[in-house]
Structure 1
Amino acid sequence: MDAMNLTARILPPDNIVLDLAATSKKRAFEHAGLLFENHQGVARTAVFHSLLARERLGSTALGHEVAIPHGRLKDLREPHAAFVRLAEPVRFDANDGRTARLLFFLLIPETATQAHLDLLAGIARLMSDAGIRQTLTQSTDPREVHQLILTGASAPAPEHADHPRADS
């Protein structure tokens, strides 16, 4: 399955939220839990604890106000994704003061290791494009954001990419 089809399957338009007023990383994680519970039937507490547990291993902030909070869930059958743009950046890494505003949330089945890495790499590649980041920051239309993510996920890496780092 190519990147666009995989992204289209795991990122429904309903999982795009623009200008969420979250005052902290934990509040953003709580909202992601609600999104996944309401749209995919995944328990919000399981989502929250999975995201928080992964974040304790090291920040998922990539730079350029981008973060890819992700977690593994034992009973999940397939990956799920959400994109949340915060109204204001929140502190993501207490050690270096790094902030994030563009959040791609990924939930991965506990056993899916290669899929996990491929998804992380694809999102990091997408977010290395300054033009895509700018559009994601400025767009007021969730459908436009969804389409940009889908088409950007299938595009080759941009020549003048900023290359945010992706750590699993």
Structure 2
Amino acid sequence: MNPLARICSVDDILLDINAIGQQQLFDTIARHVHDNYGLADQHIARRLAEREKMGTTALGKGVAIPHARVPGLQVAIGLIIRPTLPLPFGAADGKPVEHFLTLLVPEHATQTHLDLLAAAAGLLWQNAFRDALKQAHSPREVHRLLLGVH
């Protein structure tokens, strides 16, 4: 099983999110994590923004992997977000981002963080996965894609 399927539940797949910029996206992610996992929302948004300032997490081809290490987090959390409209995110190819796979990991989970980033990049770089992600109509369909069930 793809390790992303273990850390990204159906409830962590947010489709058709109204976000008009990076900060609004990060605020939406932070609210979701606060509401579902009890972590301080401003802390999450700040960590994501700080990481993004170091360099864009957009891979190109309409995808990005915003990620952060979060103090107080006990297990890794993955979220898939599809905004209503693609967001400019500084990708090298100049394309706006249609799909975000956000990774939040415990502060000291270095190898876990790297393994999840590699899995996310590998998955999002596949044309077939991106095409299927665009066609998915529900969080359950997206989760089935993560599980490798088509």
Q: Tell me the TM-score normalised to structure 2 length.
A: 0.92
2:78 matched residue in structure 1? 81
Among 104, 108, 113, the residue aligned to 2:105: 108
Matches within 5 A, 1:1-168: 4=2, 6-93=3-90, 97-151=94-148
User: 1:151, CA displacement in angstroms?
Assistant: 2.0
Q: Measure the CA separation in 2 of the matches of 1:81 and 1:114.
A: 16
**RCO (CA 8 Å, sep 6+): is it higher in 1 or 2?**
2
SS at match of 2:56: coil
Q: Measure the CA separation in 2 of the matches of 1:25 and 1:7.
A: 23
Which structure has greater strand proportion? 1
C-alpha change, 1:10 and 1:94, in structure 2 (3 Å) is: closer
The CA deviation string for residues 109-153 of structure 1, in whole angstroms up to 9 with x for no partner, is 11111110100000111111111101111211210101101228x
Unaligned runs of 5+ in 2: none
Q: Which amino acid aligns with 1:102?
A: H
Q: Measure the CA separation in 2 of the matches of 1:68 and 1:112.
A: 17
Q: Measure the CA separation in 2 of the matches of 1:129 and 1:94.
A: 17
Query: Segments of 4+ in structure 1 off by > 6 A?
Result: none
Q: Measure the CA separation in 2 of the matches of 1:142 and 1:151.
A: 14
Once superposed, what is the RMSD of the aligned Cα atoms?
Answer: 1.7
The CA deviation string for residues 49-93 of structure 1, in whole angstroms up to 9 with x for no partner, is 110010010000000110000011121111111100111111111
**Identity across the alignment (%):** 38
Aligned residues: 149
Q: Which amino acid aligns with 1:127?
A: L
